[in-house]
């Protein structure tokens, strides 16, 4: 997948965008296109843990890194979180749920980024 600067026509691969951080024109690198996630794919992801789902979605943008690398990277990134689910969806009431984003190393939502 190619990434393009928000301020010009500079393009980069995913790896190049990560290393550069910003485009030479000061713009941010954004995906040239956004991949489709089908209802069937979402249904298949229900059997995956959080890190596996993250690797699957990230792979749509950074496929050049390879499936195994992304799985290992996501598993490692979320290993510092307490419990088996880094972002549990907790039932509060009938039809009311909350997504807990404080189980990371700093106990803040920013750990999810």
| Catalytic residue status for 110 | yes
The answer to whether 12 and 25 have CB atoms below 8 angstroms apart is no
Q: Given CA atoms 37, 41, 43, 46 in this order, what sign does their dihedral have?
A: negative
Which of 20, 71, 84, 110 is the catalytic position?
Answer: 110
Distances (CA, A) of 9 to 5, 6, 51, 58: 6, 8, 33, 24
Active site residues: 110
């Amino acid at each position: 997948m190619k990434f393009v600067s928000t301020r010009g026509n500079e393009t980069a691969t995913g790896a190049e965008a990560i290393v550069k951080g910003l485009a030479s024109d000061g713009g941010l690198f954004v995906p040239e296109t956004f991949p489709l996630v089908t209802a069937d794919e979402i249904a298949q992801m229900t059997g995956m843990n959080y890190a596996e789902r993250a690797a699957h979605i990230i792979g749509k943008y950074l496929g050049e890194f390879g499936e195994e690398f992304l799985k290992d990277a996501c598993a490692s990134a979320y290993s510092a979180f307490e419990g088996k689910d880094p972002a549990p969806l907790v039932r509060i009431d009938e039809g009311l749920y909350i997504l807990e984003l404080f189980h990371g190393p700093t106990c803040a939502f920013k750990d999810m980024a």
